[in-house]
Structure 1
Amino acid sequence: MSEHKPGQPHQPENQLDEDAIAFAQGIFELARNGGTKMLNPLLEAGVPVDIRTSNGDSLLMLATYNGHVDAARLLLEKGADPDLANDRLQTPLAGVVYKGDMDCVNLLLEKGAGVDCRPDGAKTPLMYAAMFNRTNMIERLLEAGADPQLQDAEGNTALSLARAMDAQDAIKHLDR
């Protein structure tokens, strides 16, 4: 229990915890909604750039997943880890491929995201592109050096996942 100091308003500890949680949730909402102008001073003041939600989503994951390129650029310039995976074993690059956002794919690759980076056994960004028949992303990821032979925990490759999803265009791109 914290000690109450004279001259300071007394707040119960659970109120302080609730205030901290509300503050963090506000920061997550800024990233989710592209609040670049409001995020910048908070990061400058010391808010950790890789702070994460209870689901493990980083500010960068929230910004990119919701298509906010300017907020994502700010976070990357402030040192956000472009390969920090969430609790669903998705990196920001895998998340934006899943969402189909080419602008965020390009930004992440330009700013150093690992094209094949993923937690052990997870799907690569190329696997998500193949599953959802996103041929423009398949081409971009292959151009960036993606390895089409990598396997997930079940032994699937990008090509086998494209076949399982009957993603005909992706199959043509990968079956060369």
Structure 2
Amino acid sequence: MHPVIDRLRHLAFGLCLALTAGLALAQGSSYEDSLSSARLGDTRQLAALLARGIDPDTVDAQGNSLLILAAREGHTDTVASLLQYRAKLGWRNLAGDSALMLAVLKGHEAVVDLLLEAGAPVEHDGWAPLHYAAFEGRLAILDKLLARGAKIDALTPNRATALMLAARNGHVDAVRRLLRAGADTALKNDRGLTAAEWARTQGNTDIADLIEQAGRGRR
């Protein structure tokens, strides 16, 4: 082979390797930047990355999507931007949490509203948004989830209901809401405890009495 041609081929090969390495570096940087933007609520940077083609359903090592990261931190504008790019609403991380679940858990009501309006699922196997609302005693969010059709007696993996969780944690107003909505007072968790019995083990005797009274009134 002619030495000049051989040299040109080596130069072309080297240029190709350099371009590939540069592209990989740029992609890696964009990946990390997108995750950081979602976590920190840097909507401008994330919107620019999305416009350049970053996948709106990019996930981190724990399976947290960009939407989950933004929702968990309560970044309303960032969540809205991701929703414009049709980020998956029902995606759940390795722990089984969705964007809606973590927004509920943290009490980010404005984010909850955005996700519900976009059609985020309120019901699925395992822990669901209603369980987190009851666990934390978040009344307004509890009402919104029930209005969207969340199953009031849905069971967690340990067979706890929203009523049981609210009762156990001493959230009397949440208990009242759930009782008014028709929560079953007779169901038992995997330890064989009803909501009233679980409340009593935690010293929440007023809640236990309230639930037992409601149960008698339905017989």
Q: TM-score, normalised by structure 2?
A: 0.70
- Structure 2: how far apart are the matches of 1:153 and 1:88? 13
Structure-1 separation of matches of 2:14 and 2:68: 43
CA distance in 2, matches of 1:38, 1:77: 15
Q: 2:80 touches 2:114 (CA, 8 Å); kept in 1? A: yes
5+ residue gaps in structure 1? none
Q: CA deviation at 1:21?
A: 4.2
Say whether the 8 Å CA contact 2:72–2:102 is kept in structure 1.
Answer: yes
Amino acid at match of 2:72: Y
Distance in 1, Cα, partners of 2:87 & 2:30: 19
Equivalent position amino acid for 2:13 in 1: K
1:20 is displaced (CA, Å) by 4.8
Amino acid at match of 1:162: A
CA distance in 2, matches of 1:173, 1:32: 33
Cross-structure match for 2:14: 6
Partner of residue 59, structure 2: 52
| Aligned-residue RMSD, C-alpha | 2.2
Give the match for residue 119 of structure 2: 112
- Counterpart in the other structure of 1:172: 176
| In structure 1, C-alpha distance between the alignment counterparts of 2:137 and 2:145, rounded to whole Å | 13
The one-character-per-residue Cα deviations of 1:74-99 (angstroms, maximum 9, x if unpaired) are 11110101111111101111100000
Q: CA–CA distance in 2 between the matches of 1:114 and 1:54?
A: 23
Cα distance in 2 for residues equivalent to 1:6 and 1:128: 55
More helix by share: 2
Matching of residues 113-152 of structure 1 within 5 Å: 113-116=120-123, 118=124, 120-121=125-126, 123-152=127-156
d(CA) in 2 for partners of 1:103 and 1:138?
A: 14
* Aligned-partner Cα distance in 1 for 2:176–2:14: 73
Opposite residue 49 of structure 2, the aligned amino acid is L
Name which one, 1 or 2, has greater alpha-carbon Rg. 2
Whole-Å separation in 2 of the counterparts to 1:156 and 1:34? 34
Between the two proteins, what is the percent identity of the paired residues? 33
The question of 1:43 aligning with 2:47 is answered no
- Aligned residue for 2:57, secondary structure, equals coil
Q: Distance in 1 between matches of 2:25 and 2:173?
A: 50
Do the aligned partners of 2:38 and 2:78 also contact (CA within 8 Å) in 1? yes
Offset, 1:110: 0.4
CA contact under 8 A between 2:68 and 2:98: conserved in structure 1?
Answer: yes
Structure with the bigger RCO (C-alpha within 8 Å, sep 6+) is: 1
- Separation (CA, whole Å) in 2 of partners of 1:77 and 1:16: 27
* TM-score normalised by the chain length of structure 1: 0.86
Deviation per CA, 1:75-133, whole angstroms, max 9, x where unpaired?
111010111111110111110000001000100000110122x3x32x11111010111
Q: Size of the alignment, in residue pairs? A: 169
Write the mapping of 1:12-27 to structure 2, written as runs, cut at 5 A.
20-27=27-34
Q: Secondary structure at the match of 1:110?
A: helix
- The structure 1 segments of at least 4 consecutive aligned residues displaced by more than 6 Å after TM superposition are 15-19
